[in-house]
Amino acid sequence: MAIDPVLCWAFGGVGVFAEGIALMLARRPLRMLRAGGRARGRVGESEGEMVTSSRGPARMAYFPSVSFTTAKGEPITFRSLTGRRTAPDIGTEVDVVYDPAQPREAEVATFASLWLFPVATAVLGLPFLLVGLACLA
């Protein structure tokens, strides 16, 4: 059974695009981890924000503000880019990763905060890439 080469190229293109996006999303956490800035931070507050989705009802997501001190003694407060379903308790200690050259771009050191979107994008794009490569071979 012959498969249309245009379809093969389309699948391969979607796969390459998705893997490229995954690599772009992984640049920030890789940069912070490679730079080596680590600290213990403390949750100061959590800002609640309604997050809407086309698949279901809106829900509340909490984005914690975390304070920490860099290795140079500079106090930093940042808002996590990753929302959580429940607000963390104020005063909770969390691990923080940051680039010492840009400490204000810190993030809470959890799998979800650092790797959820790059890994999900890579996993979702991989079947497209594999099908595209398999039918072009």
Interval 94-135: pLDDT, tens: 999 999 999 999 999 999 999 999 999 999 999 999 999 998
Whole-prediction pTM: 0.78
More confident site: 99 or 56: 99
What is the 3-class SS of 14-76, one letter each residue? HHHHHHHHHHHHHHHHHHHHHHCEEEEEEEEEEEEEEEEECCEEEEEEEEEEEEEECCCCCEE
Distances from the Cα of 24 to the Cα of 65, 102, 114, angstroms? 25, 18, 13
Average pLDDT, rounded, for the chain: 92
Percent of the chain with pLDDT strictly greater than 70:
99
Amino acid at 23: L
Q: Are 98 and 105 in contact (CB under 8 A)?
A: yes
How many whole angstroms separate alpha carbon 44 and alpha carbon 90?
Answer: 5
Grade residue 52 by pLDDT with cuts at 50, 70 and 90: confident
**In this structure, what token pair is assigned to residue 93?**
């200690």
Q: How many CA atoms lie within 13 A of 27 on its CB side?
A: 6
Percent of the chain with pLDDT strictly greater than 90:
71
